[in-house]
Structure 1
Amino acid sequence: MNKVILQPSGNKDAREHYENTIQSPVSMQVLTEYLSEETINQLEAFYPDRSVPTWGVTPGKNNVNVQKWGKIQTGDVTVFSANGQIFASGVVVLKLQHKELAAQLWGYDKSGQTWEYIYFLDEIKQHAIPYIEFNRAVRYADNYIIQGFNVLREELSERILSSFDLKSEIYLPDVSEEEYEQEILQFEDHDNLDTNRSGKGRKEQSFLRRKLFKNKKVGVCGICGNQYPVDLLVAAHIKKRSKCSREEKLDYKNIVMPMCKFGCDDLFEKGYIVVCDGKIQRNIKKSYTPHLLERVAQIETRECKHWNDHTRKYFEWHQQQ
């Protein structure tokens, strides 16, 4: 589950760092001098413009920040605060420790430390969230002031992410196959409550979306074949999830496919279109208005790239409903 990283940025160093490496992102050319080819390839996939918003924290006194930094993972949201408000946020893409790069970017503080515990951000957004609104969302005292780098626990993070719509649809936490299986087992007796699941229940969707989209910013709808930003695509079950057996839910490589929010997801879920022998067809058991028929005609007879010997049984189940 995504967490929230508190990053007060009111002192001189933090203000300068924000201006120099977030507001004016770091050039990939600079990073190439310090990072491995593998890491650069990862970053280039996330930053096609080769400009990388970059942040870092010092080890702190008695290495107090190291353990906190260790909790950070892809999809976590950093909120920057100063002058009584949260003024910006960014989503974590990747993290690494690199003292030499940090010294190049930010130099050293008065205690001789540099901001070597680095993380790279995307989806930078500007905000004007007063502390009192933040405090009430997280249920702190009204007069609480954000002080010091910190990574909030999941329960508090969820309140903030939901209250201020800070979640990313692209960068998702890494959920292992074991965690996914535990999630299925935990909720398999409560499928009728799927829409009300919260917190840990979202691990399933994070896992499926990460497997489908691999943290890419763009994906292809499995029905219409059009390319869209991934926040306009859903990880849709071919066979209705609540009708799947445990084994079918665990067959994640075959049971889900990307569908766009521009109609394909609804058309498929509500049975107006089916996939038969790999071809998209209208469902003759349904009634259509002229405009709906026109929409379906645009995708009818298209080849569905996700139809194969492994997915056939799920499409056949859908067709028979």
Structure 2
Amino acid sequence: MKNVLDYVLNFKKLMTVKELVEKLDASQSTIYAMARGEKPIPEKVQESLSQIFNIRKEMWGKNLIQPAFADFILEDSSSLNALEREIVEYAKNAPESENYSRVGVQPAGNEIAQKNLPKSIDKRVPESVIMPCIESDLKRDHLQRLSSGKGFYAWGVRSRVYNQWVKLSPGDFIMFAKQGRFFLWGTVALTLRSPELARRIWGNEDELFEYIYLLSDVKKIDKDVKEYNKLLEYSLNNRIQGFLVLDMDKSKKIIDAYGFNRKSFEKEDDGVEKQAGLDSSSNQKDCIEQEHFKSHLFGNRPTGECCICGRHLPVKGLTATYIKKRSECDRQEKQDVNIVVPMCRACDIWFEEGYITVNSSGYINCIDDINSEKIVTTDLLNELTKINGRKCFYWNQENKKYFEWHYNYHRMTT
């Protein structure tokens, strides 16, 4: 699945290509190329598609992968309509590519850029300036965890390069260029459109830099633009004149050549990882963490029970499932052994996605309607019916607050 256009045409079949050709006054070959991701979707076409399908404009220029939709995953789901929530859910669960990070190239040598660099790149923009401009509670919480009180570096571009800006995702890299050299690079933490924040940071310009990207870090680099041109097979005299987001292949060449480190859009708490002995690679860390909590849940027993379906299984078939999403936990909660419960692989999946919840009395509530806004099949409903209304035997006063968080997160926002 390439993008949202591919999703609505080929997966959801909301309209035929012939019908869309008539509405957009475009050729079939152009529409197919845009749906395959071979051709960018112009801003005016995005606006038309937004009206035709009632899907917000900002979604059309993105690939259907989790990093590209990170901003929407962090958004209050009540602000999305049913189709938009379905698209976000699809992107959230799409198989992750190993090389999804893109590189944005930002010219910063003119007079205005030199005036703005000291305001938001040479030093961080404080949280007190940024947070009042973030409407979503989830995004504010995410940024506060990511920032740890330090604030963010920030840059903005004008509306005329919207088609490039909309391609950016958390975890992408930005390279700043002036006088024929790249001199800084940073990692994107979040993108947002905010005229108010632009005024707060850079002042009231005739044309606002309202399409903003926040950077979690900025580091020095010293690379000749000619080297960049040679890597990408451009003319050696090519100049960095406008903001540009490279395609995946070109981005990979730059990332490999310059040694950029791809970062998750969710920052892990280094202090907690070290205390728990988890300061190794991501895969090793996950394994160590599972073993740590499994030891608490099962001790030396070779078997255990899933707290949802009650099946008695070998411990290898059970997981230590976070009741509250780990990414939403603070330092103390991550170390609380009550944050995890034993679940089988199947129940873990449906609990994580909110198909299964536990109410404030400790009883299991499952989605029981084929017309639910989540994707549901008859076979899945039959399985969920078997456990709906059961008492979760692992529910207790110590983990009650975490189950309530999970219930409210999934049921109150859908």
Which bracket does the TM-score occupy, shorter chain normalised? 0.5 to 0.7
Query: Given the alignment, which residue of 286, 291, 294 partners 1:257?
Result: 286
Specify the SS of the correspondent of 2:121.
helix
Once residues 153 and 108 of structure 1 are traced to their aligned partners in structure 2, the CA distance between those partners, rounded to angstroms, is 33
State the aligned residue count: 206
Alignment of 1:164-183 (within 5 A): 164-171=258-265
Against the structure 1 CA distance between its residues 135 and 217, is the aligned structure 2 distance closer, same or farther, given a 3 Å change threshold? farther
1:97 aligns with 2:169: no
What is aligned with 1:235? 283
Against the structure 1 CA distance between its residues 162 and 33, is the aligned structure 2 distance closer, same or farther, given a 3 Å change threshold? same
1:147 aligns with 2:241: yes
| Alignment check: 8 A CA contact 1:88 1:124 kept | yes
Query: Given the alignment, which residue of 38, 59, 66 partners 2:159?
Result: 59
The residue identity in structure 2 corresponding to 1:19 is P
1:234-253: CA deviations, max 9, x gaps? Answer: 225xxxxxxxxxxxxxxxxx
Query: Given the alignment, which residue of 147, 154, 163 partners 1:47?
Result: 147
TM-score (normalizing by structure 1): 0.56
Once residues 101 and 341 of structure 2 are traced to their aligned partners in structure 1, the CA distance between those partners, rounded to angstroms, is 33
| Alignment check: 8 A CA contact 1:219 1:233 kept | no
- 5+ unaligned residues in a row in structure 1: which ranges? 172-213, 237-255, 261-276, 280-302, 312-321
Which has more strand, going by share of residues? 1
Against the structure 1 CA distance between its residues 233 and 307, is the aligned structure 2 distance closer, same or farther, given a 3 Å change threshold? farther
Query: Given the alignment, which residue of 249, 253, 260 partners 1:159?
Result: 253
Once residues 258 and 72 of structure 1 are traced to their aligned partners in structure 2, the CA distance between those partners, rounded to angstroms, is 31
| Alignment check: 8 A CA contact 2:153 2:217 kept | no
Against the structure 1 CA distance between its residues 121 and 16, is the aligned structure 2 distance closer, same or farther, given a 3 Å change threshold? same
Higher relative contact order (CA 8 A, sep 6+): 1
Once residues 133 and 37 of structure 1 are traced to their aligned partners in structure 2, the CA distance between those partners, rounded to angstroms, is 41
1:189-209: CA deviations, max 9, x gaps? Answer: xxxxxxxxxxxxxxxxxxxxx
Q: How far apart are residue 166 of structure 1 and its match?
A: 1.2
Once residues 130 and 15 of structure 1 are traced to their aligned partners in structure 2, the CA distance between those partners, rounded to angstroms, is 19
Query: Given the alignment, which residue of 258, 268, 271 partners 1:216?
Result: 268
1:155-205: CA deviations, max 9, x gaps? Answer: 10000011001132333xxxxxxxxxxxxxxxxxxxxxxxxxxxxxxxxxx
- 5+ unaligned residues in a row in structure 2: which ranges? 1-99, 290-297, 301-336, 346-414
| Alignment check: 8 A CA contact 2:170 2:188 kept | yes
Query: Given the alignment, which residue of 225, 228, 231 partners 2:276?
Result: 225
Specify the SS of the correspondent of 2:250.
helix
TM-score (normalizing by structure 2): 0.44
Once residues 282 and 195 of structure 2 are traced to their aligned partners in structure 1, the CA distance between those partners, rounded to angstroms, is 40
What is aligned with 2:121? 22
Identical counterparts, % of pairs: 25
1:3-35: CA deviations, max 9, x gaps? Answer: 000100000111222221011111111123333
Q: How far apart are residue 135 of structure 1 and its match?
A: 1.6
The residue identity in structure 2 corresponding to 1:56 is G
| Alignment check: 8 A CA contact 2:145 2:267 kept | no
Two-structure CA RMSD over aligned residues (Å): 3.3
| Alignment check: 8 A CA contact 2:130 2:197 kept | yes
Specify the SS of the correspondent of 1:51.
coil
